[in-house]
Amino acid sequence: MQSKFTPIAKILFGITLGVGLFFGGKYLFGKKSSSMVEDTPANVVEPISPSGFSYAPPEPINGTLKGVVELGASGFNSFIVNIDANKNWKLQKADFGNSLVLENMATDTDIRDGLKKYISTMLDFGVQAAHIHFVVSSGAAKEAVTQKIIGGLKNLKYVVNIVTPEQEGALALACVLPKAYENDAFVVDMGSSNTKVSWKKDNNINAFETYGSKYFQDKTDDGKVYQEVKDKCGAIPTFNRKTCFIIGGVPFKLAKKIRQNNERFTILNTPDKYTLEEAKDKAGLNLYKAIKDATNTPQFIFDWDANFSIGYLLSLK
């Protein structure tokens, strides 16, 4: 039979058929792909990236610059913070682990001159003298040089506040724990001399103290430390184990290895993902593992800006 289609009609028919096949195939394959997604089990969760914690703290409004210097067991940490009437805060300047300050304070004159120079950096930044505070960590209070520094500060008419481990844990919680997480999380402040663990329940703060990351200097067995820390963490309520906010020297090093884009919060890897060389770091990792194993908390979040001494500023009227 002779075709009834003209040459032009044949061409148009071919084009129409090709387009139809293209979009029909796209529809079928697209539908199959969509079906595959829908059939994926609901409990499969993608791994969270180190910078995947998206919480953004509220910015202070019409705040006041306040400064605090922490006399720690390993040196000075200083912070300048903008704080408003609602206790919203933002870190403006930080100086961590200034051990040279301690090393150069051999005499009373060295202490006085060193402290004056240290205080002047805050004054130059715009902090009023009345808003500069000093706190002594519970670990540093045991050091002989600390008492000399306290005396030097008193001679300069500054008040020095010495905090207990329990107070330190409560102040860390006040600074680190966002209000939205008060019923779901706990806080770990891992220091050299001791580690403070705290949480909130029924609007009450609970805290306990355990080994710090320098426990190895006393020849204390790793297994003994692991078991004691793990047992103590059994006191943390189940509801508070969904998230842990963690700060301190060793957590700082763990977060530094995986930090991306200078984010405020970094989700730490699990303890088995880290290989550390220094004795202090290994001891801190043992503490982290004990806490992780005891609580089975899925994410440990390091806060790059928080410190218990900032919590002290927040506690002031």
Per-residue pLDDT of the chain (317 residues; tens, 9 = 90+): 444 445 544 444 454 445 444 444 444 444 333 333 333 333 333 334 444 788 889 999 999 999 998 886 666 788 999 999 999 999 999 987 655 455 556 677 777 777 787 789 899 999 999 999 999 887 777 777 777 788 888 888 888 898 888 888 899 999 999 999 999 999 999 988 899 999 999 889 999 999 999 999 999 999 999 999 999 999 999 999 999 999 999 999 999 999 988 899 999 999 999 999 999 999 999 999 999 999 999 999 999 999 999 999 999 98
**Global pTM value:** 0.77
- Nearest alpha carbon to residue 196 among 172, 227, 217: 172
Q: Are 151 and 179 in contact (CB under 8 A)?
A: no
And the tokens for 63? 């705040």
Helices 144-155 and 108-125, axial angle in degrees (round to 10): 60
And the tokens for 207? 């805290």
Task: Please provide the DSSP assignment of 145-206 as one string.
Answer: HHHHHHHHHHHTT--EEE--HHHHHHHHHHHHS-GGGTTTEEEEEE-SSEEEEEEEETTEEE
Whole-number Å distance between alpha carbons of 171 and 69 = 14
Whole-number Å distance between alpha carbons of 207 and 225 = 18
